[in-house]
Structure 1
């Protein structure tokens, strides 16, 4: 079996401390099977940047390789093009996107330097798997260095409709460079179809069928591979000491009342202000929930250097104060807004004690919280998942209550349905989703992509 080289913005961890997400666990297991390298950014800024020391850490068959970036790279590549330009465009938020030529130049520069630092480690039989929007152009740089190895790419966030992406300056050039990959994976059928449409409509390419497109002398697979979690392992987290401790704390806090749980980074794509307003509408339209149902929102901050993230946190704090001031009683707080993170075992306990899981992003690649909430439920008395139609998870979790997150009335009505749903219906919906997420786990996701890549590359090379 050939070695695997994984490239991503951040690396590891190689040990599961309970904090690593499903992606990290799946990649580590795959790397341990094949042996190989996990290459990425240290998360640090230095004067030498990408020209500095290559940090190596070996764990049996797996080598972690990381490099620094300069302050200029951080400002232009990471904060600039990746998070102020690509992130909003790919999440359909052209109103928040910043188009600056310096950002684009910084993005191209860092992709070139990462390729140059990775190149000496590549062996002829290696398989290369690149992750996410930070490295759309990495394969093109490797091809320019005469790397002929099979290279796959996976996008963890949405890929927008051609009409949206076309607003990005030099969008055609970006997608043309993506065609240097042999296989491009997406979270949903919609995202994959959007990419193929762009190739056909904007690059005058050809749709070859069976998820294949050709343009600029290249033929690639562009296919949906919905990422999963190790559902059975996550379900066991509820028996951990961390989970039991948090279950006891939540049970004491609720004192017989019901809880709705939301877990998201603070990000404008997550629909948190809309969620708070929908909860307010629940209390308005269904007053029997006052004093009986609370919303706990776990929302660790992210990208505090970007103004729009500061703005949304301020808005959420204002909404929390407004709603709590309007409805709170001496012994009941409507919204508990926690701007801190919890490890996955603790979250499993919080999920289990929550009657409703509320996952309502305005746009999301997949959203694994939806799957984690389902995995953590009591089989004999499961809760109900309320899920945005714009989350990638909705494509394979039809038994959830699917809602339009822009409609406070619709989300409030779904919450009321969830809170009053009979046991038989709750269990039927939960069981269908649980069995599916067990079958479509993170390991199956990784193996499907690598199997298709190797099959495609073998056929192409023959």
Structure 2
């Protein structure tokens, strides 16, 4: 493979953004190949954007552009996050189908593609990331690029019936088939995409991920994203982690901690989780006074109405649960609408007896994997995982729940709290092995190997 060319909405041009996530995933390949990374600068301008900014760091060339106010609104806030995001998370009821937003989405995809094509050289491989750029492959082809293009979707891909709710679903599907290799978080997501192509686009499923459609032969596979497993395990025993553990330990006063860590997003199932915790205190009175639930939920997309409504709903639920079950010396539910850094979170994971990862839909959910790696081998906590998280396909030794069934979730929390040490250790060891073997490096290499081989 020659140079790797990455395209994503946000880049890691700022070194502080390289601590985790996508930056970790692609950084090694970018530095080793002298690659380039294209995307948005993070700046919004009132007039026309100036020429793209070029930044070079550690042998990687970043090329970033500002967005106009109209682009940021139509492309990012509206179509990407109020159409694609809710539909792909099975919340068609929350989607806002505007008349002009798709036009903005098209124009930004084309503008970024036009920014990329002049820099491409023979031997390069392009890797496009996430739902912001579903049309990118098509515009790169129209711009004259005939080299390999891979695409990875970090969020779920919905069932064919739900995908068809997008008014532009045919155009999007055809554009996605301009990619050579398409990566999905789970086999379920991959299957949904292939089923749509077969049912609606006369595609032929040839097996082993190969599909013939629209006169092309493409490959779609599941590549479950991982974490820096061993590095995160070390964070859990570091000084920042110990400080966080000490702080929450004073509050707990010997009580068991049930923990949730999520962005404040309607896909995460937070109201259902709060209700399940309340139901646990109701159905299992022995947990009162000896168990505390802490939910960390930093706000996101605070300008979007649905997220504002969610914040109000969580505030009300937390107040009601504490009012119903709390006592002078015990707060049943602590709800912290702020962010904590990874080192502090690692310490909180380590002290938690139970971690609730119960999204209504999630592409993967890396909190589940971080929790596993943060555990004390001598006294590991228990992971409760939604069947609708991509991670459930990999982490089958967790306690799997339906997040819509608050009674079952409540019962499962109680089961986790009472689980014998031997069973906890046995489950944790299997989970740890999976997370270590299928870490972020494994994910990156598996995808890039397929992109390299399949386009030779």
TM-score range, shorter chain: over 0.9
| Residue 373 of structure 1 pairs with residue 391 of structure 2 | no
Q: TM-score, normalised by structure 2?
A: 0.98
- 1:144-168 CA distances to partner (integer Å, 9 max, x unpaired)? 0110110000000000010110111
- 1:339-366 CA distances to partner (integer Å, 9 max, x unpaired)? 1111111100011011001000000000
Name the SS of the counterpart of 2:408 in structure 1.
helix
Take 1:52 and 1:325, find their aligned partners in 2: how far apart are those partners?
A: 55
Q: Alignment length, in residue pairs? A: 456
2:243 alignment partner, one of 225, 239, 245: 245
Take 2:346 and 2:58, find their aligned partners in 1: how far apart are those partners?
A: 31
Could you say which residue in structure 2 is the equivalent of 1:457?
Answer: 455
Gaps of 5+ in 2: none
| Residue 37 of structure 1 pairs with residue 43 of structure 2 | no
**RMSD across aligned C-alpha pairs, in angstroms?**
1.2
The question of whether the paired residues in 2 share the 8 Å contact of 1:8 and 1:132 is answered with: yes
Name the SS of the counterpart of 2:166 in structure 1.
coil
Could you say which residue in structure 2 is the equivalent of 1:172?
Answer: 170
- 1:292-326 CA distances to partner (integer Å, 9 max, x unpaired)? 11111110111111110000010000000111111
Name the SS of the counterpart of 1:262 in structure 2.
strand
The question of whether the paired residues in 2 share the 8 Å contact of 1:357 and 1:385 is answered with: yes
Could you say which residue in structure 2 is the equivalent of 1:21?
Answer: 20
Name the SS of the counterpart of 1:297 in structure 2.
strand
Could you say which residue in structure 2 is the equivalent of 1:12?
Answer: 12
Could you say which residue in structure 2 is the equivalent of 1:265?
Answer: 263
Structure 1 position 89, deviation (Å): 0.4
2:207 alignment partner, one of 199, 209, 217: 209
1:67 alignment partner, one of 53, 65, 71: 65
Structure 1 position 14, deviation (Å): 6.4
Take 2:253 and 2:438, find their aligned partners in 1: how far apart are those partners?
A: 36
Could you say which residue in structure 1 is the equivalent of 2:74?
Answer: 76
The question of whether the paired residues in 2 share the 8 Å contact of 1:22 and 1:230 is answered with: no
Aligned ranges 1:294-443 → 2 under 5 Å: 294-443=292-441
1:56 alignment partner, one of 54, 57, 67: 54
Structure 1 position 98, deviation (Å): 1.0
- 1:267-315 CA distances to partner (integer Å, 9 max, x unpaired)? 1000000000000000000011111111111101111111100000100
Aligned ranges 1:186-225 → 2 under 5 Å: 186-225=184-223
The question of whether the paired residues in 1 share the 8 Å contact of 2:325 and 2:332 is answered with: yes
Name the SS of the counterpart of 1:309 in structure 2.
helix
Take 2:336 and 2:54, find their aligned partners in 1: how far apart are those partners?
A: 36
| Residue 132 of structure 1 pairs with residue 130 of structure 2 | yes
Take 1:151 and 1:384, find their aligned partners in 2: how far apart are those partners?
A: 40
Take 1:113 and 1:189, find their aligned partners in 2: how far apart are those partners?
A: 32
Could you say which residue in structure 1 is the equivalent of 2:2?
Answer: 2
1:285 alignment partner, one of 272, 283, 286: 283
